[in-house]
A and B are shown apart, each in its own frame.
Chain A
């Protein structure tokens, strides 16, 4: 008696005797894990994808601690009437100061210190031009008033148009956010929350408070002009992204279960089999969640999708076991013997498959990228936990179920037998189609694209994202600069100057400009003030003449005279919010904001930007921080770790296959569906325009690990039942393989419906990846083997 038969009998005896105890133990353990699993939270923060010890993460945390980070809740107030927009913004800002969740409000409307010093923000040349304008204006009216003067020029009166100097714009660039767009006036208020952006409960409360305050103000206004409120900024976009993901998870989980149930209903044609498959699966997922809570404490953006995938993969064992059990029951009409047969047939391959899969996933934990690390750890453990539950739980359920009701099991009939009859015609056709598509796929490999743009992973046309783009476009700067932390204000000023000089001498630089708190202090103030004094004296000479000007011109000259009284502007005169943004409230550090020319959500741009910044070689007391640096590090890690994780997974898989089959040619045949599947995935990507991105590459090791299952199950059966051709095997194991692959594909297909585009792209790569592996393993490779056998070349039978 073979070892496999002995193993099968031992396990069948054990389960038959202790089925109730096994089930009781599973129920007890499940009850104990429910509180743990219930505490599992999702963290949708990109920071959670990197190790906390990584310099970019540590620096960003320090930046948050020192100056409160660079993140705000951006409140946008729009109205067709400028006064209404300003009034609402001012009243809202005053109310917001008392919000519990707000550290400070930055509406930059208290600009009195800047308002009276607007002229200092003109360049020296600009100020000289203004002096000329004043001269020309006085001269014009003076000539007009002299009765003996004969005007030969008939010049239009020069306009002392202070507006044309764009003083307000210069001021808003420093101290405020206001803009007229088409027929709408926009006013922006920045709220600095006193909690991290990942605290979604407080964010939700803050949004509600914000809306209530706005509605209250709006209701008190006369109804002459409509006024709108919009929210954006990292606090809103992250909250929205989190809710999109949570919503997507609910939807895709529902769809996964629906699709899998539908497939199983077609396959098994009885309700009991579905229940028998789902009960252990539910328990396995519950245990996995509890494990994730114990081991990590949360799910990140990548590991969050795991549960759906685990459902697809976890149910595989149930399918194989139920198919084998049904076949055995059809022959023996005995539950224990059917169990023995199923254990004998599936014990070793299912163990090999589970180990292969879990080790493949575990191999991802070598990555520094927490996204992969957590995914690998949870998925690896999840596969083993699901396997343990299925290995003893499902047979125990079958025993208990059979004892309760003498059910007659019949094997599923999913595929028509005639489809699996080997005939030369279909074999040649399959081979030709496979070879042609393989050629096409090879041609697609150089064209494969990696989409580096993080923006393309978020929800399309999400309101807060659209508003964030508008703000970035309207105010001419992207809202996520990189920050250089320096020990002193003077140091920050020197550094900003250095970078701005570098930008001037490097037109191809990715930097737009650099600013420190001293950048807001006008240059050459002494010379400007001397010039302004001269201008004032000139206007004093014309006091009588000014009195005779028309009202508008007179007001402008008076405004100019008022502005000419300016005294030097110092840092202490700047709005406190602006100072806090650069130096925090403690003032321990002084920062330089380096703005990129283009959005750093484009990963390639982020990488170039951060690399260029690092290449400037700052001294040790200067620290680079900011979310773009984290983006760049994520991409760097992904580029480093994805090939490494894939190679390690492949190495582990090959090693396990050698242990199992012990023959290189057998290993090669088991691996062939996977290799062909990957090749065809490239073809599918080319055909459907799929792009790889930092989220969907996480699916590749899963395809590698799980795709190999098909090869193992089919080849193991073929090797065991040597008298049969490969197509004979397909009648039994092939059906299970098809259903297993279809359930996994269904899990990924459900992700197509996700609003989160990163999630949707994972679904696409998973669906086409597993689909390719399925087609290769149940059609192309069997056809190839059959073709070789028809040619009287018996690679496996020769060893009979």
Chain B
């Protein structure tokens, strides 16, 4: 009886092990390929933006959504990349002021624009690709006319269990490059403080505009 009982236990463990391996391996494979995790994270991020309301009707709900969306953006990395050597030369106060203004501009300008950009269009994700430690999620915002489809590539990486976007590439061009172009232009024409001043002006202007216009 004891022998039978032992064999039965071994068989049960083997079956459990086989089942476990069978379940774990595909999950690991998905993870390895970038699979659903970064894509789902992106879908969540874009879903948050889509769920925002413009003009803002419920400020506290809007603030909550903004905070959730902000968690997906590594704006500091994007700002640093865009500023290049100007970031190194900037004082800590300037850096702090810059980042503060950039976050506010994202909230006041980029989110309303993105909300409008995404609209209710269907988004498909043809490919998720791992590039080093990060992932590239390719997406297409499907418009009614095929020629107007927007191909957007999001660059994501995972940090402390949180997926974060550190670049957005539209039609082959990186947003950090474009931001870098204008930061560099303003700084070379005036100074870093000139850039801060311009960002503040833009923010003031955005705040004065009615929400409907932003959207």
Question: Which residues of A line the B interface, CB within 8 A?
Answer: 139, 142-143, 145-153, 541-542, 544-545, 547-548
Q: Complex Cα distance A541/B199, Å? A: 31
Q: A142-B173, A146-B178, A544-B151 are in contact. Are A152 and B199 (CB under 8 A)?
A: yes
Q: Which 10 A-B pairs have the closest CB atoms?
A: A147-B117, A147-B114, A147-B113, A146-B170, A547-B147, A143-B178, A150-B105, A148-B110, A150-B109, A142-B173
Q: Is B8 an interface residue (CB 8 A)?
A: no
Shortest C-beta distance, A354 to chain B (Å), equals 94
Shortest C-beta distance, B209 to chain A (Å), equals 13
For B173, the chain A residues whose CB sits under 8 A away are 139, 142, 146
Shortest C-beta distance, B155 to chain A (Å), equals 12
Shortest C-beta distance, A223 to chain B (Å), equals 44
For B105, the chain A residues whose CB sits under 8 A away are 150
The answer to whether B178 and A142 touch across the interface, beta carbons within 8 angstroms, is yes
| B151 nearest CB neighbor, chain A only | A544
The answer to whether B186 and A145 touch across the interface, beta carbons within 8 angstroms, is no
The answer to whether B171 and A542 touch across the interface, beta carbons within 8 angstroms, is yes
For A151, the chain B residues whose CB sits under 8 A away are 182, 202
Q: Complex Cα distance A372/B118, Å? A: 93
Q: Is B168 an interface residue (CB 8 A)?
A: yes
The answer to whether B198 and A147 touch across the interface, beta carbons within 8 angstroms, is no
Q: Complex Cα distance A392/B62, Å? A: 129
Taking a contact as CB atoms closer than 8 A, the residue among B106, B117, B147, B171 that contacts A150 in the complex is B106
Taking a contact as CB atoms closer than 8 A, the residue among A139, A145, A150, A541 that contacts B150 in the complex is A145
Of B178, B179, B202, the most chain A CB neighbours within 10 A belong to B178
The answer to whether B113 and A152 touch across the interface, beta carbons within 8 angstroms, is no
Q: Complex Cα distance A544/B151, Å? A: 9
For B151, the chain A residues whose CB sits under 8 A away are 544
For B175, the chain A residues whose CB sits under 8 A away are 146, 148-149
Interface of B is mostly: helix
For A547, the chain B residues whose CB sits under 8 A away are 147-148
Taking a contact as CB atoms closer than 8 A, the residue among A142, A152, A153, A541 that contacts B170 in the complex is A142
Q: Complex Cα distance A148/B109, Å? A: 8
Q: Report the contact-size class of chain B (Cβ under 8 Å from the partner).
A: 20 to 34
Shortest C-beta distance, B129 to chain A (Å), equals 19
Interface residues of B in 37-80 (CB under 8 A from A): none
The answer to whether B202 and A150 touch across the interface, beta carbons within 8 angstroms, is yes
The answer to whether A148 and B168 touch across the interface, beta carbons within 8 angstroms, is yes
Q: Complex Cα distance A153/B179, Å? A: 10
Q: Complex Cα distance A151/B183, Å? A: 10
For B195, the chain A residues whose CB sits under 8 A away are 152
Given contacts A142-B171, A152-B202, 10 further A-B contacts (CB under 8 A): A143-B182, A146-B170, A147-B110, A148-B114, A149-B178, A150-B110, A151-B182, A152-B183, A545-B171, A547-B148
Taking a contact as CB atoms closer than 8 A, the residue among B109, B114, B185 that contacts A153 in the complex is B185
For A145, the chain B residues whose CB sits under 8 A away are 150, 170-171
| A138 nearest CB neighbor, chain B only | B173
Q: Can you sample 9 A-B contacts with CB below 8 Å?
A: A142-B173, A142-B178, A143-B182, A149-B175, A149-B178, A152-B186, A541-B172, A542-B171, A544-B147
Shortest C-beta distance, A602 to chain B (Å), equals 53
Q: Complex Cα distance A142/B152, Å? A: 12
Q: Complex Cα distance A657/B41, Å? A: 126
Q: Complex Cα distance A548/B117, Å? A: 14
Q: Complex Cα distance A149/B105, Å? A: 10
Q: Complex Cα distance A606/B185, Å? A: 56
Q: Complex Cα distance A548/B105, Å? A: 25
Q: Is B116 an interface residue (CB 8 A)?
A: yes
Q: Is B181 an interface residue (CB 8 A)?
A: yes
Q: Complex Cα distance A153/B178, Å? A: 11
Q: Is B149 an interface residue (CB 8 A)?
A: yes
For B182, the chain A residues whose CB sits under 8 A away are 143, 151-153
Interface residues of B in 131-186 (CB under 8 A from A): 147-151, 168, 170-173, 175, 178-179, 181-183, 185-186
The answer to whether B149 and A544 touch across the interface, beta carbons within 8 angstroms, is yes
Shortest C-beta distance, A547 to chain B (Å), equals 4
Shortest C-beta distance, A377 to chain B (Å), equals 83
Q: Complex Cα distance A148/B113, Å? A: 7
Q: Complex Cα distance A150/B195, Å? A: 13
Shortest C-beta distance, B47 to chain A (Å), equals 15
Q: Complex Cα distance A150/B102, Å? A: 9
Q: Complex Cα distance A86/B112, Å? A: 51
Q: Complex Cα distance A146/B106, Å? A: 13
| B205 nearest CB neighbor, chain A only | A154
Q: Complex Cα distance A294/B187, Å? A: 92
Chain B 81-123: CB-based contact to A (< 8 A → 1; otherwise 0)? 0000000000000000000000001100110011011100000
Q: Complex Cα distance A548/B149, Å? A: 10
Q: Complex Cα distance A542/B170, Å? A: 11
Q: Complex Cα distance A306/B185, Å? A: 81
| B199 nearest CB neighbor, chain A only | A152
For B171, the chain A residues whose CB sits under 8 A away are 142, 145, 542, 544-545
Shortest C-beta distance, A328 to chain B (Å), equals 109
The answer to whether B116 and A548 touch across the interface, beta carbons within 8 angstroms, is no
The answer to whether B110 and A152 touch across the interface, beta carbons within 8 angstroms, is no
Taking a contact as CB atoms closer than 8 A, the residue among A142, A152, A542, A548 that contacts B148 in the complex is A548
For A139, the chain B residues whose CB sits under 8 A away are 173, 178, 181
Q: Complex Cα distance A146/B113, Å? A: 9
For B106, the chain A residues whose CB sits under 8 A away are 148, 150
